[in-house]
Structure 1
Amino acid sequence: MTFFNEILKNQILNVSFTSWFIAQALKVVITLLTKKKIDLYRFVGSGGMPSSHSSIVMGLSTSVGLKAGWTSTSYAISLVFALIVMYDAAGVRRAVGKQAIILNKILEDKHKSKHIQEKRLKELVGHTPVEVFAGAILGILVANLMI
């Protein structure tokens, strides 16, 4: 069996990437429902509902727990990793997004008076706690359905 065939049979990887894929697809659907427009960039973009970061790491962590056991070292490592990623998504990355909004506003004001061309900073970077929680629940559900 080739390396790639073995990778495709890895249930934990399949859960993780399926969780990410569903979260990203949901962002496109939610954008369609709330803004009445198809924005395919939402499929690859960060930020928004639900958090695909949370979904992928909780899919990973839950599937490791289901396969290796809730008391295993592998589960402990994956859970700590998931908690760090989710904290970062709702904390540091969200703060970066808020700073980008302020900096973009400063650049807008500057443009009005001086015609300087600056590229806008990406504002949708992090997640609200609700988006992180929704992504985590999605990852847990996908893992329980697939393992």
Structure 2
Amino acid sequence: MDLCYVITPFVAWLIAGGSKFTINSIKARKLAFSQIGYGGLPSNHSAIVGSIAAIISIQDGFGSPAFGVAIALVFIVILDASSLRKQVGMQAEIINRLSGARNIERLRERMGHTPVEIFAGIITGIFSAYVVNALYSYA
């Protein structure tokens, strides 16, 4: 088995997660461990599926059946990241308003991604695939 297919999404996840943590920490002016989770720039999910599609296109070509499946997965994840989770966040906002001042833990309202966050995730994934491919070629 060619391990670059397994390593690439992990590298994309590390780069996207590290970038997101760094950006959130700079914004908060402290280590932003509480900000780890859904939402933010770049999208981890988009980076992971983008990296899978990119490494498949690099290794096997755009005409491979695996690339077609990977692109379908990319679209599913992007739709989920942009619309479904945005709806979940809106529901959380309404539930938080309805719960009012009761002693109930507030639900996280920021769940979805903006188009910029999704695009940044895809670019991160493509970059990760090229880095892993370059390193893998020399090994």
The TM-score range, normalised by the shorter chain, is 0.7 to 0.9
1:36 to 18, 29, 32: 29
Rg (Cα) greater in structure? 1
Deviation track 1:4-50 (CA, whole Å, cap 9, x = no partner) reads: xx6xx61011110110111111111101111212112444x121111
Q: 2:128 matched to 1:142? A: yes
5+ long unaligned stretches in structure 2: 134-139
Q: 2:57 matched to 1:60? A: no
Structure 2 match to 1:85: 77
The answer to which of 116-125 and 15-24 deviates more is 116-125
For the aligned residue pairs, the C-alpha RMSD in angstroms reads: 1.5
TM-score, with normalisation over the residues of structure 1?
Answer: 0.83
TM-score, with normalisation over the residues of structure 2?
Answer: 0.88
Structure 2 counterparts to residues 1-147 of structure 1, below 5 A: 10-43=3-36, 45-108=37-100, 111=101, 116-147=102-133
5+ long unaligned stretches in structure 1: 1-5
Separation of aligned partners in 2, 1:16 and 1:92: 23
Separation of aligned partners in 2, 1:31 and 1:47: 11
Q: Percent identity?
A: 34
